[in-house]
Amino acid sequence: MERKPTKVTIIGAGAVGSACAFSIATQRLAAEIAIIDVNRDKAEGEAMDISHGLITMGSMDIHAGSYAQDLPDSDLVIVTAGVGRKPGETRLDLAAKNIAIARDVVDNLQKYWKDGAVMVVSNPVDVITYVIQKESGLPHGRVFGTGTVLDSARFRYLLSTRTNADIRNIHGFTAGEHGESQFAVWSSVHVSGMRLDSFCTKRGIVLDKEEIVKDTVSSGAQVIKRKGVTNYAIAAIVAELTGTVIKNRGSIFSVTSVLNDYYGISDVAISVPSFVDAAGVRGYLPYDFTEDELVNLRSSASQIRSFMDSLNI
Residue positions annotated with a catalytic role: 178
Collapsing DSSP states into helix, strand and coil, what is residue 98?
helix
Q: Are 280 and 268 in contact (CB under 8 A)?
A: no
131 Cβ neighbours under 8 A, 6+ residues apart = 99, 102, 103, 106, 313
Integer angstrom CA distances of residue 312 from 95, 144, 307, 309: 12, 21, 9, 5
**Among 76, 189, 177, 94, residue whose Cα is nearest residue 130:** 177
Amino acid at 20: C
Strand order through the sheet with 183-191: 170-175, 183-191, 194-195
Q: Are 151 and 287 in contact (CB under 8 A)?
A: no
**Among 24, 23, 7, residue whose Cα is nearest residue 65:** 7
Amino acid at 240: E
Collapsing DSSP states into helix, strand and coil, what is residue 279?
coil
DSSP state of 88: T
Collapsing DSSP states into helix, strand and coil, what is residue 85?
coil
Q: Are strands 269-277 and 117-120 parallel, antiparallel or unpaired?
A: unpaired
